[in-house]
Amino acid sequence: MMQVRGVVRSIGVWCAGVAIAGGLAASGVSPVSAEEFGNGNQVFFKGGFMNLNRDRGSQIFSDTNGVLGAGSVNGGNTGWYAGAGLDLMLSKDVWGALEKTSVLGEIGLQFNRINSHRVNNAAGSIATCTLGGTCPTVDPQEVQLTMMTINVAPKIKFMEGSMFRPWIIPIGLDFHVISPPSNKTQYLDMGVQFGAGFEVQVWKALKLGVDARYHLTARMTNTVNDYFQVGPYVGISF
């Protein structure tokens, strides 16, 4: 199992490397000019692969510390994400400092679904005991591990006016909600993110791109919520 996780993680890192390297390499080639649509703003929809740095197995609310025995730990750390966001144009030339380089403000919302297993449901066990059942008791169910991320970040896009545009997020602010809560019943966390990618104008205001990011959290929930993500997105300029 660990080998499989290692391979998946390596594939994700490799994809991110290709995305970032492709964007940076493209900065050195002659851009293909593109007709500009709208004022540089964009709404985008994204999805792809994500990987937690550390799984949440053997916690009270994730699997009741693995009380069902072998194979009953909710130890998945890979999964998928889906989200959307809004890029708002702030400057098309870094306020006169750099030509053909745009600065945008990004606001994003993302749902993460981590691979989950059928384990003991802590809430069900506690409810049974409270209502007069025999303790200890078990309540086997699939306990889903999820996370919601809201972010605000500056995004720098290069090669203004071309069909191919690499971009970076030097640093952004994240707010996270984890489910189920941690052992200390905490579920709110915050942190920073770093990202890079590129997009291609395919038809008028429609763009396709690749997005890679790393999220570093403050671990206010007493759990390790750091994660990496990579995947495609569709953007519409306005």
**Which strand (E) or helix (H) includes residue 140?**
strand 140-142
* CATH code where residue 60 lies: 2.40.160.20
Q: Which of 150, 163, 151, 147 is nearest to 235 (CA)?
A: 163
Q: Residue 166: helix, strand or coil by DSSP?
A: strand
**Mean pLDDT over the full length of the chain:** 83
Residue 217 has a pLDDT of: 98
Domain count, the chain: 1
Q: Which residues pair with 104 in a beta bridge?
A: 89, 155
Q: Which two tokens stand for residue 206?
A: 């429609």
Asked whether the beta carbons of 108 and 211 are under 8 A apart, the reply is: no
pTM of the model: 0.80
Buried b (16+ CB within 10 A) or exposed e, 129-147: eeeeeeeeebbeeebebeb
> What domain range includes position 171?
2-237
Over residues 3-39, the pLDDT tens digits come to 444 544 544 454 445 444 444 444 444 456 666 777 9
H helices of the chain, in order, are 2-26, 60-63, 122-130
Count of CB atoms situated within 10 Å of the CB of 125: 19
Q: What would the mean pLDDT of 31-60 be, rounded to a whole number? A: 86
Q: Residue 122: helix, strand or coil by DSSP?
A: helix
Residue 178 identity (one-letter amino acid): I
Torsion angle defined by CA atoms of residues 183, 187, 188 and 189, in that order, rounded to the nearest 10 degrees = 50
Q: Which two tokens stand for residue 195?
A: 């990202």
